[in-house]
Structure 1
């Protein structure tokens, strides 16, 4: 009787060394990983994103091979690579006579549909496994909010804290207070020098050369001999350790701050490691709590709680919304915006310093923190009325941590309010005042933060009021923004007209800003 031969697929964001799959070596099981054009080409990705995933995948495959697992690794330039999961899998099964096919549940709807299509055409049995990574299941958020009109993240966050007994004293939070967000919104003091980020020195020259020979279109730049992102579990744990020791004591306080020339500040930058599953959210939270418990006088509780909330609250919440609302969520356009993304989003060549800093940083490092994404690049795109499809494509491509499940919910929901309030209770828009409050960008800008109209008036100021005027019918009854309409309606007709005229001029000349 012929032995069972199993082919197991590992996706590029399933690099979980702790998964039960690898608990034992089985000579009848073969793992396949592949670099395919269908993944490099569905968006224009940052060169560091493509190189980072390929480097991490290759390191993971090498590790499995060292542990004596059977591994087939199909590189981008391999002869015979059919550049699609479906064709490569079918080819392998036919040539190697596999009798079973197995895969872990994908995190992206696109991949879920693709693998369902693959398995529907197989002539052999197949089996699905959980990725053993998240705190919640795909459908857990949907069940939690069943019958409710509002999907408040804070409620889900508290439920997750209770369920997993994280920072709890029985049924109550350890300090008696759930959320310390109000303490975590400070600007960096003048002269304050943040801790220098830890930068890894990986060599990705071969991968970048291979990408170049295939004419894959990418954006951004890369230091091929000093690739700064983790490409394996050990490096990911080192980055986490650096954050906990050097950055966590001030993480919460300055997590919303922005400053010229400082791209990392006190952020962990572990999102690529988490989203590729080189490390798990459970071990990250456990390590953070352990660090706080050992250094309670150095690490105030608000610093820890803010970090924990991002992982067990926001990250799990966004994934839950994604699986509850896809695929419709990716098509929502509540404001019916149609404008094209300004050309300078791809170059950073704009006179608006906040956008110049945030975009050029993103092109250089494949990274920007959440306030740069939400309140600078996202804020402007929303004020300018950019179509959410174009905003999605940009965010999905430019950031190394951007996978569809986390990108589309943050961008189309939180950032662009294209979902009409499923995720956010109001649109996240601001004038220059907020950007100046949280950064030093305005002090050296070509535009004047204090001017609403006239020569060199900051575009954010007139576009802000233009946005509320354009969407009054849809927003006026929202209790969180009614004060803005009260202010707007008290303005004199001439002042309103001047603001709208200024905004119109900027929108007509958006690529020259």
Structure 2
């Protein structure tokens, strides 16, 4: 029996389950650029261009390898608007009535594919270290689903950075060595590529169709095939990995990338294999070319955090993105899409996001995410913003990071406490505060850093939820030691600042 074999835009590898199970001699590969997938949120133009260009190149590679590939371009006059519509169109064209599918990374698309009038076999996506069943078994009966313990199991399973049954150098986690403030000089730039003919054709299409989406399309330098992505990885391991650990939490206004790898988009769409990426980093440690704190921190982000959040997303189910434990309902303000703000840290992080479809994890968590949580922004709106603006954002990875880790909207499934801080943390880890209209040293008044005011405002709004949290009790004791006049001034100034925000005034 011949089948249609669906390959999605984030499944661009011959090792994806559906292709491994297919028969090249009789099955037909279906790939499609469709309106639904580019507009269900208004994705960053660079993200759309990356995926479409990589899809076109991968389809060409499959054709060269002997596959019958039926590929639909976005501007094809016969195209339907959805993945399901394209499968049905190809079914009518070929006469096939069954499809082989690798499980998508979003409940939205899983549910659509399950309800097609085709016999659809959906295979698990085995590009991850832990299957759904393995994660469910790990999670079963645990009082808290903390990533650290899952990560240790993944180290044991893969053998990465292991000395028999023990972690190399006697510790699982070297994160305490990876919190250095920004260096005086950065000597690394990521590897980018000039657009070739295929990429340029996509860029012109994206300019025509998505010119009203937030973010800059050009200059465009992402890798768009596996060979280029491998070169990016090589460049990172040789030039940046040795210093990655030290400065992975640092932020600099004039250095967007510091020593980060910028490989997550390529892993997430299939151009790089996550386990092979980790093995390459491990080899750098074993050869003495990169220190343990850098390599362990890098590997933890992939086999630990990446696999963990994917497990949480599927464990918690399709309603996860609607959770709102703290009852926050303020609209995401215009400065998240580039309108002016006097908060230099937010302005810099958003501007970089618009330019590059990229910001590293601390910019996301402790600048834009921290502000959103302190100010009480609607977590679903925040979730959709992150899904829109980052090239590596797919719901399985983005939603747990935002709903759980960043916004505490899941009530503590992921995080043991809300990740909130005053301006002091941002000042310590960046140079943002030096160019700000507000004063990070000011605790009250018109020039007080909004993070300082909103930090205490957040704690007081949610005192009933967090006062007994052992990781937060000290901050409530600090509040009680303040004199009453100062406490009143902090809350009054925070209320005044939020009122200006709600009115759409410049803040």
Partner SS state of residue 70, structure 2: strand
Deviations 1:457-487 (A, max 9, x none): 1111111110001100111111100011001
Mind listing any 5+ residue stretches in structure 1 that lack a counterpart?
none
Query: Partner residue of 1:81?
Result: 79
Say how many residue pairs are matched: 501
Query: Partner residue of 1:105?
Result: 103
Query: Partner residue of 1:261?
Result: 254
Query: Partner residue of 1:207?
Result: 202
State the Cα distance separating 1:83 from its structure 2 match: 0.8
Question: Which of 107, 118, 139 is matched with 1:145 structurally?
Answer: 139
Mapping of residues 202-281 of structure 1, within 5 Å: 202-203=195-196, 204-214=199-209, 217-223=212-218, 226-281=219-274
Query: Partner residue of 1:423?
Result: 414
State the Cα distance separating 1:211 from its structure 2 match: 3.2
Give me the whole-angstrom Cα distance separating, in 1, the residues matched to 2:209 and 2:357.
21
Query: Partner residue of 1:432?
Result: 423
Superposition RMSD in Å: 1.6
Give me the whole-angstrom Cα distance separating, in 2, the residues matched to 1:137 and 1:95.
35
Q: Does 1:176 align with 2:170?
A: yes
> Would the aligned equivalents of 1:281 and 1:311 in 2 still touch at CA under 8 Å?
yes
Query: Partner residue of 1:17?
Result: 14
State the Cα distance separating 1:99 from its structure 2 match: 4.4
Query: Partner residue of 1:486?
Result: 477
Give me the whole-angstrom Cα distance separating, in 2, the residues matched to 1:348 and 1:149.
43
Query: Partner residue of 2:42?
Result: 44
Deviations 1:39-80 (A, max 9, x none): 111111111011111011111101111112111110111011
State the Cα distance separating 1:242 from its structure 2 match: 0.6
Give me the whole-angstrom Cα distance separating, in 1, the residues matched to 2:89 and 2:296.
49
Mind listing any 5+ residue stretches in structure 2 that lack a counterpart?
none
State the Cα distance separating 1:420 from its structure 2 match: 1.0
Deviations 1:97-138 (A, max 9, x none): 1143111111211111111112xx22xx43233333111112
Query: Partner residue of 1:496?
Result: 487
Deviations 1:421-440 (A, max 9, x none): 11011111111100001001
> Would the aligned equivalents of 1:77 and 1:214 in 2 still touch at CA under 8 Å?
no
Partner SS state of residue 132, structure 2: coil
Query: Partner residue of 1:7?
Result: 4
Deviations 1:150-209 (A, max 9, x none): 0011110011111221111221112111100111000123x3223122222124332233
Question: Which of 150, 158, 169 is matched with 1:164 structurally?
Answer: 158
Mapping of residues 114-513 of structure 1, within 5 Å: 114-118=112-116, 121-122=117-118, 125-189=119-183, 191-203=184-196, 204-214=199-209, 217-223=212-218, 226-294=219-287, 296=288, 298-347=289-338, 349-510=340-501, 511=504, 512-513=506-507
> Would the aligned equivalents of 1:104 and 1:128 in 2 still touch at CA under 8 Å?
yes
State the Cα distance separating 1:5 from its structure 2 match: 2.4
Deviations 1:320-358 (A, max 9, x none): 001100223211111100101111110152111111111
State the Cα distance separating 1:85 from its structure 2 match: 1.7
Give me the whole-angstrom Cα distance separating, in 2, the residues matched to 1:348 and 1:243.
34
> Would the aligned equivalents of 1:348 and 1:360 in 2 still touch at CA under 8 Å?
no
Q: Does 1:57 align with 2:50?
A: no
State the Cα distance separating 1:277 from its structure 2 match: 1.2
Give me the whole-angstrom Cα distance separating, in 1, the residues matched to 2:104 and 2:240.
32
Deviations 1:235-274 (A, max 9, x none): 1111111110011101111000001111111111000001
Give me the whole-angstrom Cα distance separating, in 2, the residues matched to 1:436 and 1:55.
39
Give me the whole-angstrom Cα distance separating, in 2, the residues matched to 1:100 and 1:75.
23
> Would the aligned equivalents of 2:190 and 2:261 in 1 still touch at CA under 8 Å?
no
Give me the whole-angstrom Cα distance separating, in 1, the residues matched to 2:20 and 2:69.
12
> Would the aligned equivalents of 1:9 and 1:33 in 2 still touch at CA under 8 Å?
yes
State the Cα distance separating 1:6 from its structure 2 match: 1.7
State the Cα distance separating 1:490 from its structure 2 match: 1.5
Give me the whole-angstrom Cα distance separating, in 1, the residues matched to 2:330 and 2:425.
24
Q: Larger deviation: 253-262 or 98-107?
A: 98-107
Deviations 1:361-401 (A, max 9, x none): 00000000000000000000000000001101110000000
Give me the whole-angstrom Cα distance separating, in 2, the residues matched to 1:249 and 1:208.
34
